[in-house]
Amino acid sequence: MQEAIFTGAATAIITPFRDGAIDFESFGRIIDWQIESGISALVVCGTSGEASTLVDDEHIATIEYAVRRAARRVPVIAGTGSNDTAHAIRLSRAACEVGADALLLVTPYYNKTSQRGLVELYTRIGDAVDRPIILYNVPSRTGMAIAPATYAALADHPRIVGIKEASGNISAIAETAALVGDRLTLYSGNDDQITPILALGGVGVISVLSNVLPRETNEICRLFAEGRVREAAELQLRLMPLVKALFSDVNPIPVKEAMAMMGWCTNELRGPLVNMEPAAREVLRDRLVEAGVELAE
C-alpha cells in the first residue's frame, strides 16, 4: 500500500503580490495561520499560486520560503509541472534542492501530448528526482486528461505516489480507483467533490476553499475518515454556496479577492488575470459572511 504524503485537506495556497513583487511578509502570515488552523499540507506554486506567471527564480524562491516558514510542521508540496519536459525536470530538481517534501505535476498545457507521451514525461521526471510525485489532472485548463489506463501504467513507478483529480469526471475517477487500487493515493482537486471522491477511496483534498476556511475544509475529511459520512456531506453542502462563489470567475481571482477581504493580502493579480466585476464581488462577500468568515473590510 502506498504511504500518503498527507491525509485531510491541503491548501492550494495563493501567492500574494505587492507592487508587482511577491509579498513574502503576507505569505508568511498566511502560512502560519493555515498551519495553526490545522491544515494537513501546503501546495505552493500551483494554479491558485499563479505559478504560470512566476519566473523560475521567483518560483523557486517561493517554494524555498514556504519550506523555511513551514519548518516541518506540515509537508510542503511544490508545483513544478510544465509543458516542456526539460523545464519540468529543472524546476522539480530545484524544488527538491530547497527542501520541498513532494512535487505536484500538472499535465502539459497547450503543447499537449498523447497518453504515451504522458507516461514518458512522468517517468522521466520521476527518474530525475528523489521526492514523491502527485500527478495533477485538470483538463479544463490543460486541454488534455490523464486516462485511467495511463494512471495504471504509472502506478508502479517508485516516485509516483498520488493523484490530484480535478477532471470532474466521477466515472473516470471511479475507473482509475478500480485500476490502481492502493498503488496511488487519490485526492480530490475540486472542492465540490470532496465527499464523492473520499467515497471512492480518496484520502483528502487539495483545496482552494481551504485558503479561506482551512479548519472547516479539513473537518469534512476528518468526519468522513471517522465514518461520520452524513456529517461530512452536510458540512460540504453547507459550504457549497461559498464554493460556487469562489469559482464564479477564473481561479484564483475570487479566492485572492476573498483573502484581501479578510485582510491577509492585497488584491493584486498578475496579468492576464483581472479583478472581479463589482456585482460578483458583492456576491462573494455575502457568501463569505454567510459561511462565518470574518472580514477585515
Cα gap 193→196, rounded to integer Å: 5
Residue type, 258: A
Q: Which residues neighbour 249 within 8 Å (Cβ) at sequence distance 6 or greater?
A: 276, 277, 280
Cα gap 60→46, rounded to integer Å: 12
Where are the alpha helices (H) located in the chain, listed in sequence order?
Answer: 24-36, 56-70, 85-97, 115-128, 139-142, 148-154, 170-180, 194-199, 214-225, 229-238, 240-246, 253-261, 278-290
How far does CA 126 lie from the centroid of its chain?
A: 20
Q: Is 65 a catalytic residue?
A: no
Q: Is 164 a catalytic residue?
A: yes
Residue among 136, 151, 187, 256 flagged as catalytic: 136
Residue among 65, 122, 151, 164 flagged as catalytic: 164
Catalytic positions are 136, 164
